[in-house]
Amino acid sequence: MIPARNTFLLLAALALTSFSSPALDEPTKVPSPSSTNPAATVNGYQPKWWKEAIVYQVYPRSFKDSNGDGIGDLKGITSELDYIQGLGVNVIWLSPHFDSPNADNGYDIRDYRKVMTEFGTMSDFDELLKGVKQRNMKLVIDLVVNHSSDEHKWFVESRKSKDNAYRDYYIWRPAKDDNVPNNWVSFFSGPAWKQDPATGEYYLHLFADKQPDLNWDNPKVRNEVYDLMKFWLDKGVDGFRMDVIPFVSKREGLPDLPADYMTRPQFFYAMGPHLHEYLKEMNHEVLSKYDVMTVGEAFGVTVEQTPTLVDERRNELNMIFNFDAVRLNRNGEAWRDWTLPELKAIYTNLDQTSNVHMWNTVFLSNHDNPRVVSAFGDDSAPFRAASAKVLATMLLTLKGTPFIYQGDELGMTNYPFTSIDQCDDIAVKNAWKALVLTNTVSPDVFMANVRKVSRDNSRTPMQWDSSANGGFTTGAKAWLAVNPNYKDINAKQELGDPNSIYNYFRQMAELRRKTPAFVYGDYKDLDPNNAKVFVYTRTLGKEKYLVVLNFSEGAVAYDLPAGLKAGELVISNLAKLTDQGGTLHLKPWEARVYKL
Ligand code: TEU
Ligand code: CA
């Protein structure tokens, strides 16, 4: 067995870290102030529906199966729209629902205008959209256009010959010294190039080899993208979450990855020379013509670069996902223990690098990351519910649009994976081949890490009730195993329990919706170095709220900073007892929100 330190480094070397600021970006250029009417602003911000929204992410494969084939589908989602609305969220982000051979669960698209057969038909999509609108909610879909599937008709053509009309839709290069054209690595292990037999040339794939990267430098490709965006917008969708959008412009000449980017290639792949030009063009050609929201998955973008993508005066994107918080518990792909002051510092940094012309997002989970309660709370029986509520309180009172991943409102947990055969994700299967099958990492060490961080943790089916398969499917078998804790943790039980995580979440969501201070108010961390308690205020004019979150499994007597006294307790996840005065007697994993 190899020493633990080496294992750690090797897992780290698998790539994907989110530490800040390589010096390769262009300087932040913020244009002069716009002529917008300042009287219409709130605390300096232009009010927008997407700034006030609470977004709920649905991963269709795992949400609800309507026909017993073990795979979630659109009809299943439509049947649970009341459940989603009941939570108090008002925007749904739907992970890819397009025709796909599912090498990467729909993030490899074969036909951008067709619904994935397993998920249903276009009329099922229209029904879903209608149901969303009837409930005054909005639907945002996933735009995955850094790459397509290798089964997309463009690539089927492109690979045929060097002079095919679609050749330049993708990125082809001849071999270099009988080898790959450069040293770029794929996020799913191994080189980012694959040699194709028809012509002997290599094509670029930053993800799986079944996900060839599109060539955005070709204007025909960009126009195809704008057309498909219009196709869905004209149907009435309310915007896009844009998959790895900062990768679409590749560096001039495709230079080798410098050695120090080998473990964090996203910072080299992102923010290429034409990114801003292409986003402005997309905005001009498409987005500016609709009232929609856009959120870019900004993997590899630093906090300092963020304003260049989302400052409203630049007309590019509305918001991005910054990965500093969600990947705080990662070193490469290996778990690392994180601390509360580190998390606070990230939120402070996001706030301080921000301005009134831009807007942030707040999230700690999605379909690529472990369950929020397992990663940032404590999923052991005594603290699971309380810590899930602490996290809900935080996500819904920080500054920025909150994104909640399905099942986190129930406190669903990571899956107790013991064997690679239980896994589905291409990322983990490829890593197993690259690390375990080469005897680089022991199976036990690998599986321990899978239990902490693997993407499959969040992809196990939604737990609806205590019947077989958690009520996700009436079929014998779900596509991915249901977490064995479904008898205790499920929606039916929580809907009926006034003290459940679900019911706490809906109260918190209501509080956020009716309190402009939680949307537009200033954010201030009152005690950045406290390792157990997160204490901050949100202030809008005379309205001031104090949020106190005990992130530890011990009771804490917390002395409020001088001059502050606990006022009216608005909500707490535990007892309704109010401390008066300057010392708060917090129970383990207690959350309180006060109006000052
Ligand atoms: O993810 C982008 C991304 O680079 C990571 O989040 C990545 O999935 C992870 O680090 C791999 O371990 C987006 C999608 O969210 C993800 O599901 C897709 O697999 C990926 O792009 C390719 O489309
Ligand atoms: Ca189904």
Cross-strand bridge partners of residue 568: 595
Protein residue with its CA nearest to atom 8 in ligand 1: 368
Mean pLDDT calculated for residue range 247-260: 97
* Ligand 1 site, residue 310, Cβ cutoff 6 A: no
Closest ligand 1 atom to the C-alpha of 187? 11
What's the pLDDT at 582? Answer: 85
pLDDT of residue 12: 40
Which of the four pLDDT bands, split at 50, 70 and 90, describes residue 566? confident
| Any ligand 1 atom below 6 A from CB of 144 | yes
Q: Does ligand 1 come within 6 angstroms of the Cβ of 150?
A: no
In the sheet where 533-540 sits, what is the strand order? 522-525, 533-540, 543-550, 591-595, 568-572
- CB atoms inside a 10 Å sphere around CB 264: 19
In this predicted structure, which of 1-5, 76-80, 365-369, 432-436 has the lowest mean pLDDT?
Answer: 1-5
Active-site residue set: 243, 297
Ligand 1 lined by 426 (C-beta under 6 Å): no
Q: What is the pLDDT of residue 16?
A: 32
Q: Which amino acid residue places its CA nearest to atom 4 of ligand 1?
A: 299
The pLDDT value recorded for residue 22 is 33
Contact 390/551 with Cβ under 8 angstroms?
Answer: yes
Instruction: Report the distance separating Cα 149 and Cα 447, nearest Å.
Output: 29
Q: Is 299 in the pocket of ligand 1 (CB under 6 A)?
A: yes
Q: Which pLDDT belongs to residue 581?
A: 76
pLDDT over 50 (residue 9): no
244 Cβ inside 6 Å of ligand 1: yes
Query: Angle between the 4-13 and 443-453 helix axes, to the nearest 10 degrees?
Result: 50
Q: How far is the CA of 22 from the centre of ligand 1 (A)?
A: 21
Q: For ligand 1, is residue 282 a contact (CB within 6 Å)?
A: no
Q: Which numbered ligand comes closest to the C-alpha of 427?
A: 1
Cβ atoms of residues 33 and 313 within 8 Å:
yes
Nearest ligand 1 atom to alpha carbon 455: 12
The tokens describing 278, both together, are: 């292409």
Cα 374 to ligand 2 centre (Å): 28
What is the percent of the chain with per-residue pLDDT over 90, rounded to a whole number?
90
Which ligand number lies closest to the CA of residue 207?
Answer: 1
- The ligand minimizing its distance to the Cα of 431 is 1
Quote the mean pLDDT of the chain: 93
User: Which pLDDT band, with edges at 50, 70 and 90, does 20 fall under?
Assistant: very low
**From ligand 1's centre to the CA of 368, what distance in Å?**
6
What pTM did the predictor assign?
A: 0.94
Q: How far apart are alpha carbons 267 and 583 in whole angstroms?
A: 44
**Quick check: 484 and 446 in contact, CB under 8 A?**
no
Is the model's pLDDT at 27 over the cut of 90?
no
Q: Rounded CA gap, 335 and 319, in Å? A: 27
Q: What pLDDT is stored for residue 39 in this prediction?
A: 60
Cβ(16) to ligand 1 under 6 A?
Answer: yes
**Residue that is written with structure tokens 């129970």 in the block:** 587
In the prediction, which pLDDT does 38 show? Answer: 53
121's tokens: 């038909």
Q: What separation in Å is there between the alpha carbon of 60 and the centre of ligand 2?
A: 10
What per-residue string of b and e applies to 542-580 under the rule 16 or more CB within 10 Å gives b? eebbbbbbbbbeeebebebeeebebeeeebbbbeeeebe
Cβ(104) – ligand 1 distance below 6 Å: yes
- Top mutation candidate among 98, 105, 107, 205 for ligand 1, by most atoms within 8 Å of CB: 107
- d(CA 66, ligand 2 centre) in Å: 5
Q: Would you say residue 13 has pLDDT above 60?
A: no
Strands 543-550 and 533-540: antiparallel
Give the C-alpha separation, 378 to 384, whole Å: 5
pLDDT score recorded for residue 261: 96
Task: Report which ligand 1 atom has the smallest distance to the Cα of 104.
Answer: 19
Report the separation in Å between the CA atom of 467 and the middle of ligand 2, taken as the mean of its atom positions. Answer: 17
| Å from CA of 219 to ligand 2 middle | 38
pLDDT one-digit tens code per residue, 225-241? 999 999 999 999 999 99
Task: Write the residue with the smallest CA distance to atom 17 of ligand 1.
Answer: 368
Query: Is the CB of 107 within 6 Å of ligand 1?
Result: yes
